Amino acid sequence: MGDPLVRLEKVERVYRLGNQEVHALRGIDLEVHQGSFIALMGRSGSGKTTLLNMMGGLDRPTSGRVFYMGRDLATFSERELTRWRRREIGLIFQAYALLPALTAIENVEVPLRISGARPRDSIARSRECLELVGLGKRVHHRSFELSGGEQQRVAIARALVTRPRLILADEPTGELDQATAIKVLELFRNIVDTQGVTICMVTHDPVAAGYADITYTLEDGRIIPPGKEGAEEG
């Protein structure tokens, strides 16, 4: 299988709320390999999004280490971390985060424009990504002219446009009806299989497990072995 793309070693994350300590992650050990589709499941407050943020360098562990292709993210300066995210990470959110004044293709172009790509190249690549997600005929529509599922497809195209190795998706189907959510999950599966991209997805939807290669369940900041879910509630 080779070396992991992302590796977490004994990662802890503690937040302080007044005089209280909140343990969001408790000693997480995890490996994510290139070209895999990972689902992170669990109740609200279980640590799923915090874990996703660790993988993308959006948050730093209180203790433990996060490695990307063998390099400890703690050794990155803030500037290096920003450049690394622009190049290596694609982000997808539940609320789409599209700019309403821009068309679909203009929204997809944003990361390329930020990175300084030539306009001709960025337009071509953005169109290619919109074709990949099935929106080749909607490139000039603004977000308010698109359905929720189409807006999420634009967001997926935007995440793909810089050719990242890793896509982090936080509840990407949370605002969608079941039929549309399944179409998005099928699209994720196709992207992993045909593009070799790695996807880590936070979700509450049990249907997602049928599309992912591996599903991890979190409870109280820990990854729970299969069959042990809910054992702490006794």
Contact between 62 and 13 (Cβ < 8 Å): yes
Q: How far apart are CA 122 and CA 127, in angstroms?
A: 8
**What pLDDT, on the 0 to 100 scale, is given for residue 192?**
96
Go through the domains of the chain in sequence order and give each one's CATH number.
6-66+76-227 (3.40.50.300)
Instruction: Give me the residues of the chain with pLDDT under 70, please.
Output: 1, 226-234
Rg (CA), the chain: 18
**What pLDDT, on the 0 to 100 scale, is given for residue 234?**
38
Amino acid at 14: V
**What pLDDT, on the 0 to 100 scale, is given for residue 157?**
94
**What pLDDT, on the 0 to 100 scale, is given for residue 114?**
87
**What pLDDT, on the 0 to 100 scale, is given for residue 117?**
85
**What pLDDT, on the 0 to 100 scale, is given for residue 226?**
64
**What pLDDT, on the 0 to 100 scale, is given for residue 232?**
45
**What pLDDT, on the 0 to 100 scale, is given for residue 216?**
95
**What pLDDT, on the 0 to 100 scale, is given for residue 49?**
93
**What pLDDT, on the 0 to 100 scale, is given for residue 30?**
96
